[in-house]
Amino acid sequence: MLARTHSSQAVMSNAILLSPNSKVPSLQDIFSNQMMDRFEAGSTLFWEGDPAASVFEVVAGVFRIVRVLSDGRRVITGFIYAGELLGASLRDRYLYSAEAVTRVTVRRFGRNRFQEEILRQPELREQLFSRLSDELAAAQDQMVLLSRKNAEERVCNFLLLMTRRVAQACPAMPVVELPMTRLDMADYLGLTIETVSRTMTKLASRGVIAPAGRHSVVIVKPVTLASLAGESYADPYAAPIERCSGAA
């Protein structure tokens, strides 16, 4: 669950992540010679409690990070997109299951070799550390959301997060892909599918968003959406999506 965030809940900077002009070694580089594995949507990469044998780089597709209570209640603690890492927290066992939301492609790296590589290269260490910090920041934001925000704020927050994440050149009215089902969204937001559905419908009827097919939404009023998300004091430091100039 290595979601890179900007200040608090936010976007992954591809510039840093992929380091296109790589003089500096990047975390991705150590995966570049590894074999690609493909999985169908719905398949499980690893299970909560499994010995943590590998670290994965997500090359394409989206994963969900799942935890389940003994009576079946399900919690999704995050979504992992292409360019991010899975299982990099380097504990003996995975703390969660990783399930493919879409068809996915990953590169696998042995845990020990990954750890050695990290030990050897200071720049990689730096990046890994930075990602852990980002992930921790995201986790704290999520705690705030789950602790004190109502259904509408949660859904708006989620839509904003997804908008920033795909970061598609930020037009005034971005179209956001939502590859996951309503159930996934519900389990991520601590709600039920019905509540998520009702909230989305209400937002649409108010003209804040507009449905665009099963798995995407047009953000009609990004500013309204942001104010409805009930950001915390610290969040104004994060770049709002509507502020990004030029770069269409």
The residues binding its own copies (CB under 8 A) are 1, 7-8, 48-49, 67-71, 73-75, 77, 89-91, 93, 95-96, 119, 122, 125, 129, 132-133, 135-137, 139-140, 142-144, 146-149, 187, 190, 230-234, 237
Say if residues 86 and 45 touch (Cβ distance below 8 Å).
yes
DSSP assignment letter at 179: -
Pick from 196, 209, 238, 241: which binds DNA (CB under 7 A)? 196
Partner whose footprint covers residue 90, from its own copies, DNA, none (CB < 5 to 8 Å by kind): its own copies
Tell me the angle at which helices 182-189 and 193-205 cross, rounded to the nearest 10 degrees. Answer: 100
* Interface region with DNA, contact rule CB under 7 A, candidates 51-59, 116-124, 183-191, 222-230: 183-191
Rg of the chain's alpha carbons, rounded to an integer?
A: 18
Q: Which three-class secondary structure string do you get for 17-49? A: HHCCCCCCCCHHHHHCCCCEEEECCCCEEECCC
Judged by beta carbon, residue 110 or residue 211, the one nearer DNA is: 211
Specify whether the CB–CB gap between 184 and 64 falls below 8 A.
Answer: yes
Give how many residues touch DNA by CB under 7 A.
19
In the window 7-46, what residues touch DNA (CB under 7 A)?
none
Neighbours of 194 (CB within 10 A): 10
Q: How far is the CB of 170 from DNA (least distance, A)?
A: 25
Residue 34: both structure tokens together: 């590894």
Evaluate whether 67 touches 48 at the Cβ level (below 8 Å): yes
Q: Of 99 and 135, which has the nearer Cβ to DNA?
A: 99
Least distance (Å) between residue 63 CB and its own copies:
15
Q: Is 179 in the site for DNA (CB under 7 A)?
A: no
Token pair recorded at residue 4: 């890179």
- Residues numbered 141-170 forming contacts with DNA, rule: CB under 7 A: 150-152
> Contact residues for DNA (CB under 7 A)?
150-152, 181-183, 190-198, 200-201, 211, 214
